[in-house]
Structure 1
Amino acid sequence: MTEFREQDLAGALFERVSLRDATFTQVFLNAARMHAVDFTGAQVRGALFKESRMRGVELVDVEINGELKNVVVNGVDIAPLVEAELNRRMPERARMRPDDADGFREAWAILERLWEGTVARARTFPEAALHRSIDDEWSFIQTLRHLNFASAAWVGRMILGDAAPWHQWDLPWDEAPGWDGIPWDREARPSLDEVPTVRRERQVMVRHVM
């Protein structure tokens, strides 16, 4: 199996290439050109195909998860269609792009309610399942820890001016450069009772700012 890691493929040309069952994770293919490429069975997660052109490609049994903008397939911009369908399935999703203070307060209240239900469902799972990583993605507990870090970084530090708002279980993103004084232990295994306690404190902080 061929692997490409930490490589700059901007402007690359792929012609008559088989990418069957390939996995694209946080791949940046700016201005790439693809002709007669087979993507059958491919999975695309967190990849950026900005200003790329694909001609004569085969997209069969392909799974794509990410942000879509100006994605033209056979002459049709599919991004608005996907957005509309996602909003139809979950009407509250349309409120996640507010443009005023009241809208942000409403969106945050929705997020708090949805996360409360998610955590309640997580409590029905065995503890080991909450720490399980699939395809090297974060576990459920790690995801909560990262949300705690994001709240501390963007609200606690940037808005409230706290130079060290961190908790020992906060988790930065994997590609972060690393900083002195900021906790970063991906392998820590706090319980589901411990992490939501911090999460509730951070939610109160965000709610207070809003």
Structure 2
Amino acid sequence: MPEAWQTATAGWRMSVPGTSVATMPAATPPVPEFERRWTNVDLSGARFHNVVLSGAKITGVWARDLVVDGDLRGLTVNGIDVMPYVEQRLAAEHPELGQIWSGDLDDLRAGWATVRAAWESTEAEVAALDEAMLHERVDDEYSYLETLRHLVFASDAWLRRCLLGETDFWYAGVPHDEMEPEVLELLPIDAAADPALDEVMAVRLDRRGVLDRLLAEATPDALAEHPPARERNGYPLDTSGRTVGECLRCIVNEEWWHHRYATRDLAVVRQGVAER
């Protein structure tokens, strides 16, 4: 495995700065110990989403087409640690992930350029689709439009609020599923909003421009600085606890992962339409 990738993946994560999925608080109280064991149970087709499975052990299983997608820090299958292979494949197929987390500003800019180009290619394809397809969910994940709206929300939080001190959030932004209710109540978000593609893209392109500008104006030394504390009236509550570099990497990382999810699910939607 390339040494640069090993270094980069030490801080590589799917979630927000300072929090990995392995350590994030559970959305509900922990399941009692006696309810954490399933024996002789058929879990075919089971769906686990936004769950903490650190230390979990699955033994004596029969599984075909098992899919595991998440922030994995060690995965042993039949006595073999498969994570080195997974990371090696990711490094080979997606070098931009290593660039995002390397800590180098030029790497971060290059990683964003790759992610940005991927989104632009997808957007050109999406423009020719029936807009109804962009509202469809696959396996209860975000629809394509919800994905874009979530990325606007993330940019409002980690770029405009943390780095620029802006206090407004777009009304149709989509917060992450684990958002604490007391924090969500502080945000001027309309949960019933369902804007059309043109409106979503107008805001989306504006927020993309914010990231472009911040990366262009950043300096290597500035990445280690902490933004000023903001009023505790939005998300994240503690804006000064993250560095400028963490905020920028958070958004580029979110852009990479959600492009992956969006294109994966769009392929399913398009296949479904073709088969109708």
Tell me how far apart the structure 2 counterparts of residues 23 and 96 of structure 1 sit (CA, whole Å): 30
How many angstroms does 1:109 deviate by? 1.8
Written as runs of structure 1 = structure 2, the 5 A alignment for 1:122-141 is 122-141=126-145
Dislocated runs of 4+, deviation >6 Å: none
How many angstroms does 1:202 deviate by? 0.9
Q: Please say if 1:59 is aligned against 2:52.
A: no
More helix by share: 2
Asked if 2 retains the 8 angstrom alpha-carbon contact of 1:145 and 1:171, the reply is yes
More strand by share: 1
Over the aligned positions, Cα root-mean-square deviation in angstroms equals 2.2
Query: 205, 214, 219: which is aligned to 1:209?
Result: 214
How many angstroms does 1:112 deviate by? 1.4
How many angstroms does 1:22 deviate by? 1.5
How many angstroms does 1:151 deviate by? 0.5
Name the TM-score, length of structure 1 as normaliser: 0.77
Match of 1:162 in 2: 166
Asked if 1 retains the 8 angstrom alpha-carbon contact of 2:96 and 2:110, the reply is no
Tell me how far apart the structure 2 counterparts of residues 134 and 10 of structure 1 sit (CA, whole Å): 31
Per-residue CA shift, 1:127-157, capped at 9, x if unaligned? 1001112222211011000000001101110
Tell me how far apart the structure 2 counterparts of residues 160 and 57 of structure 1 sit (CA, whole Å): 50
How many angstroms does 1:53 deviate by? 2.1
Q: Please say if 1:23 is aligned against 2:26.
A: no
Per-residue CA shift, 1:46-70, capped at 9, x if unaligned? xx31012233222322122222221
State how many pairs are aligned: 184
In structure 2, what residue type is equivalent to 1:50?
A: S
Match of 1:197 in 2: 202
Q: Please say if 1:106 is aligned against 2:110.
A: yes
Tell me how far apart the structure 2 counterparts of residues 205 and 172 of structure 1 sit (CA, whole Å): 19
Identity, % of aligned pairs?
A: 34
How many angstroms does 1:10 deviate by? 6.1
Name the TM-score, length of structure 2 as normaliser: 0.60
In structure 2, what residue type is equivalent to 1:169?
A: A
Asked if 1 retains the 8 angstrom alpha-carbon contact of 2:149 and 2:173, the reply is yes
In structure 2, what residue type is equivalent to 1:122?
A: V
Q: Please say if 1:13 is aligned against 2:41.
A: no
Per-residue CA shift, 1:89-127, capped at 9, x if unaligned? 344444332312222222222221111111111112101
Q: Please say if 1:81 is aligned against 2:85.
A: yes
Match of 1:183 in 2: 189
